[in-house]
Amino acid sequence: MRRKTLSLALAATTVGATAVALTVIPEVSVATPDTAAATPETVRWGPCSDEKAESPRKAASPRLECSTLDVPLDYRNPDGRQIEIAISRLASEKPSQRRGVLLTNPGGPGITGLGYPFALATSKLPQKVLDSYDVIGFDPRGVGRSTPVTCDLTQAQRNRGNVPPYAHTAADVAREAKNARTVAKQCATSKTASMLPHTTTANTARDMDRIRAALGEPKLSYLGASYGTYLGAVYTTMFPGHSDRIVLDSNLGPGGYDVTAMRLFARGLEDRFPDFAAFVAAHPEYGLGTTPEQVTAKFFDLAKRLEAKPVRGIDGTLFRGITFDRLYSDTSMPSVAEMWQALDKDRPLPPDTPPSMDNMENFMAARLYVICGDSRWPRTVREYQRNAAVDRVKYPMLGGGAASIGPCAFWPDKRVEPPVKIGDRGPSNVLMVQNERDPGTPLAGAQKLRRAFGKRATMVTADQGGHGVYPFAPNTCANNAVTAFLTTGQRPAQDLACAAEPSK
């Protein structure tokens, strides 16, 4: 299910785990409707091998079909070098009820999406949605089976993850700059470095429109989560006439996965942590505190102790990262408490702690290609030092890490176009859905995207915590609103706040 997909993303983003200095961009930066146009080719569907259907669930469905599509590496030169995009389909079994295709993206950037239609179908995606659409998955350019990219990351670099060590001082930021510069150089000199300027959200959106054309569809509907919300926002901005029903779940701000989004991880943990503190306080058997205040104090106590002396391979940065990552889901709260308990008493850790980073090189590399290529990040160590100093005070649980320096600070300046500006021009066909206490894409960012869309969007918020609403979370009010939109086209008349519902 998608919760594993999303958690996997943040394991690499924080465990180490997706605009202070963005380049000024024009009022609008959109592709004309024919930017990605090409003579439609016939997609030849065939069975998905286990390898091609690879997903975080490691499962394939006999009904899931796969194919590939060639697209230009550089859309400014459509007849130049082509790269391969791997796509999948879970076809509607009710042709009389089928109304089109529903393209999906589980987040990332860097996550494979070939198996996502199957993950949706075997979780809680309503049957009437499955009947209404052919559900389409794909590996975005640079990812998995779609001409993958690399940064030649060593095992040690993978284990460090994507969020820098917690910076307590300016010297900590300066020290981390060396590692960040090294990774950026590896990406820029790798065998896939020629793809650096072209592995962007805008080009992935153009690839999506090529998929639409190849499938012979005049429009596509879309269901995207986490980073997939930015991808969907960019697509419907660039191709408003080809956009049908657009659902964005757990939303990044209008700048996408930029330096602002990175820093918002720290606010996200602060938003989410009270849910966990209340859970632990209600379970005194963990021995971590009987009040939320005591649980919060235990967090800082463990972080300090582990920074001074790691326990069973877990240092302070890893402790903060795993805690953050696993608070994406209520169901993971017991495992977080068990990890804390084990670290507190130096006992064996729960299974998959820390998570393995052995097979994460492509994910981590593709993530860097996209987030560093989409927008310009601060270029000076001093600015990261200032940001970390501010966020250590505002958001002490994670702020010293999320605001510190990473490879994007040293990324090659080879961007071929400015970021796409999300605005209110286009059809009113976007439904945003958002948890109030989302650690990975906090409500504050979603509200900015909502304002940017203006009349184009309606937003449904759910009074619950965690990352991801539809269709896995238990809030029936929010889930029903999305299902109704996908199947009937009807959205709430205005923004809707869904009350908390008891867990089932």
Active centre residues (catalytic): 226, 438, 467
Contacts 24+ apart (CB under 8 A), 383-392: 383/20, 383/21, 384/173, 384/177, 384/409, 385/167, 385/170, 385/173, 385/174, 387/20, 387/259, 387/263, 388/167, 388/170, 388/172, 388/173, 389/170, 391/263, 391/266, 392/167, 392/168
Contacts of residue 65, Cβ cutoff 8 Å, sequence gap at least 6: 45, 46, 47, 48, 88, 89, 90, 91
**Cα dihedral sign, 356-357-360-363:** positive
Q: Taking the CB of residue 417, how many other CB atoms lie within 10 A of it? A: 14
What SS3 class is residue 433? strand
249's enclosing H/E stretch is strand 243-249
> Would you put residue 383 in left (φ > 0), alpha (ψ -120 to 50) or beta?
alpha
- In angstroms, the CA 471 to CA 126 distance is 8
Q: Taking the CB of residue 124, how many other CB atoms lie within 10 A of it? A: 14
- In angstroms, the CA 306 to CA 308 distance is 5
What SS3 class is residue 310? coil
324's enclosing H/E stretch is helix 316-326
**Cα dihedral sign, 419-423-428-430:** positive
Separation in Å, CA 253 to CA 223, 261, 356, 442: 17, 7, 30, 9
- In angstroms, the CA 297 to CA 58 distance is 38
Q: Taking the CB of residue 291, how many other CB atoms lie within 10 A of it? A: 12
- In angstroms, the CA 311 to CA 329 distance is 25
**Amino acid at site 391:** D
Residues in a beta bridge with 68: 86
Which tokens is 150 given? 């690399």
- In angstroms, the CA 75 to CA 208 distance is 13
What SS3 class is residue 57? coil
